[in-house]
Amino acid sequence: MARKKKISRDPAKMPGIPINAYVVFIRRLAYLLKANVGIGKALQSLGRSETNEKLKRKAFSLARRVESGKNLARAFHEEEFPSVLVDLCKSGERTGSFHEMLEEYSKTIEMEAEVLRKFQTALIMPKVTLCLMWVLLYIVLQVAFPKFEGFLAQTSISIPPLSAFMFHLSRTTRGLFGGILYFLPLVAAFLVPRIFHINLESKILRAIPKLKTIYVKQEWIRWTNSLGILLHGKANMVESLEASKSLFPVALARNAEEVIQRVTQGRMLSRALVESCGIKAIPAILTSLIETGEETSQVDEGLLYVAETFGKEVLEETRRLSAIIDPVVTLGLGSLVLLVAVSIFLPMIQAVSSISNM
């Protein structure tokens, strides 16, 4: 039985392939096709010069599929490239503007790579600090707390709940098994995303409300840019909506079929979006620019402008986020120090008080 292909909805997601390598691969393919190099020859050339082993194998496999008579869209699909690239290829092959679509597509994923790089850079300090805090707390638990617990055991001082909890944690994490149990969550947090190709940064963006706006804007960027590229490549509106259907933002995804049906019936895109999804689900700038584009027959320019504007906003929000993270990390480190200090000093204060009352 043939294995079912798992095609990514994310336009820049290729498991096991760094996003920067993927961006360069697409951009170079676009330039070679623009220079009228044959598709099979271009893919062979990319395979020979590619440094990422997985992408190298895919390039040669794509070349073999194309040389056997398959079109590039089908070859991309069979090699499990993102669905938006497959749809862009289909449209590009029909309209003859394939290399232009690839160039615009490479710009889209390059911008996503830049946002992801900035966010990953912003998370380096928290990750390093978390590891240091984890190790330092373990050292304190294994060195300081056993001695302090032994000292308190010789007195009649009642141990506060916080101190009792820290002593219990110290006893639980002693020995080889306790050490493994203590460090297991930290190791899992770093290894599991890599083993199962989980984009931890995207998960964080979607999980935290304040950061979710960045992820939502990225969805709008993907859809508006892809739709704009398709329209710019002379595909008609219905074909373009069908091709970009896999990238509809969550706010529109449930009504994607209804939007396409209304446009097929002759509605303008701006009106079809509002009637199907409601005006609150659509950014005001998008509605305005689509309406203007419909009046001037330049909807593609309006969509690409929205994608560019949102892209700048996302980069700025990511930059501001990077500036906020350092104080948050410092606060977290300070909280840990305070926790340890309080758990130690509370019994000491009680000991001093009991001595002074004697």
In the predicted structure, residue 7 carries a pLDDT above the cut 60: no
If asked whether residues 59 and 118 sit together in one domain, one would say no
Same-domain status, 197 and 236 = yes
Q: Is the pLDDT of residue 60 over 80?
A: yes
Do 352 and 225 reside in the same domain of the chain? yes
**Confidence at residue 196, expressed as pLDDT on a 0 to 100 scale:** 67
DSSP designation for 224: H
Does residue 271 belong to any structural domain of this protein? Answer: yes
Domain end among 63, 81, 99: 81
CA distance 156 to 159: 9
Q: Distance of alpha carbon 22 from its chain centroid, rounded?
A: 15
| Helix-then-strand count for the chain, H and E | 16, 0
- What 164-167 contacts at long range (C-beta under 8 Å, 24+ apart), as own/partner pairs, is 165/343, 166/141, 166/340, 166/343
Report which of residues 13 and 194 the model is more confident about. 194
Q: Which helix (H) or strand (E) holds 47?
A: helix 39-49
In this structure, the answer to whether residues 54 and 176 fall within a common structural domain is no
Section 94-114 average pLDDT? 78
Q: Give the residue-averaged pLDDT of 216-228.
A: 85
**255 and 174 in a common domain:** yes
Q: Is 281 left (phi over 0), alpha (psi -120 to 50) or beta?
A: alpha
Residue 1 has pLDDT above 70, yes or no: no
Same domain, 73 and 112: no
When divided into structural domains, the chain yields a total of: 2
**21 falls in which pLDDT band (50, 70, 90)?**
confident
Among 64, 23, 68, 31, CA closest to 47: 64
At 293-338, the pLDDT tens digits run: 888 888 988 898 888 888 888 888 877 877 777 787 788 888 888 8
pTM over 0.85: no
Q: 176 in a domain, yes or no?
A: yes
Q: Is 316 helix (H, G, I), strand (E, B) or coil?
A: helix
Burial class (CB in 10 A: 0-12, 13-18, 19+), 296: exposed
- CA-nearest of 264, 229, 227 to 246 is 227
d(CA 290, CA 318): 27
Q: Does the structure show a pLDDT above 60 at 50?
A: yes
Per-residue pLDDT tens over the stretch 274-296:
888 888 888 888 889 899 888 88
Helix%, strand%, coil% for the chain, nearest 5: 80, 0, 20
Q: Distance between CA 219 and CA 221 in Å, rounded?
A: 5
Assigned domain for 282 exists? yes
| Residue with more model confidence, 49 or 234 | 49
Which has the higher per-residue pLDDT, 14 or 306?
306
pLDDT of residue 199: 64
Residue 229: pLDDT band (50, 70, 90) is: confident
8 A C-beta contact, residue 310 and residue 220: yes
331 and 261 share a domain? yes
150 lies in which domain range? Answer: 108-358
Task: With respect to residue 10, please indicate whether it lies within any of the assigned structural domains.
Answer: no
Q: How large is the average pLDDT for residues 74-96?
A: 82
Residues 152-211 have pLDDT tens digits of 887 777 888 888 888 899 999 988 898 898 999 888 877 877 776 666 666 665 666 666
Q: Is 210 helix (H, G, I), strand (E, B) or coil?
A: helix
Q: What is the reported pLDDT for 210?
A: 62
Q: Residues 108-147: pLDDT tens digits?
A: 778 777 777 777 787 788 888 888 888 988 998 898 888 8
Instruction: Please give the Cα distance from 138 to 179 (Å, whole number).
Output: 8
Amino acid identity of residue 41, one-letter, is K
CA gap 228, 224 in Å, rounded: 6
Give the number of other Cβ atoms within 10 Å of residue 259's Cβ. 21
pLDDT band at 4 (very low <50, low <70, confident <90, very high): very low
Does 172 lie in the same domain as 77? no
Q: Provide φ and ψ at 357, rounded to 5°.
A: -85, -10
Is 12 a domain residue?
no
Are residues 70 and 118 both part of a single domain?
A: no
Residues 72 and 114 reside in one and the same domain: no
pLDDT reported for residue 44:
93
Q: What was the pLDDT predicted at 357?
A: 65
Q: Domain check: are 133 and 43 in the same one? A: no
Q: How many residues does the chain have?
A: 358
- Report how far residue 7's alpha carbon sits from residue 21's, in angstroms, rounded to the nearest whole number: 19
Neighbour-count burial for 79-118, b at 16+ CB within 10 Å, e otherwise:
bebbbbbbbbbbbbebbebbbbbbbbbbbbbbbbbbbbeb
Query: Looking at the structure, do residues 275 and 216 belong to the same domain, yes or no?
Result: yes
Is 87 domain-assigned? no
Q: Considering the chain, what is the average pLDDT of its residues? A: 82
Reported as a single tens digit per residue, the pLDDT across 332-345 is: 888 888 888 888 88
DSSP states along 81-145: --HHHHHHHHHHHHHT-HHHHHHHHHHHHHHHHHHHHHHHHHHHHHHHHHHHHHHHHHHHHHHHH
Which residues touch 121 (CB under 8 Å, ≥6 apart)?
322
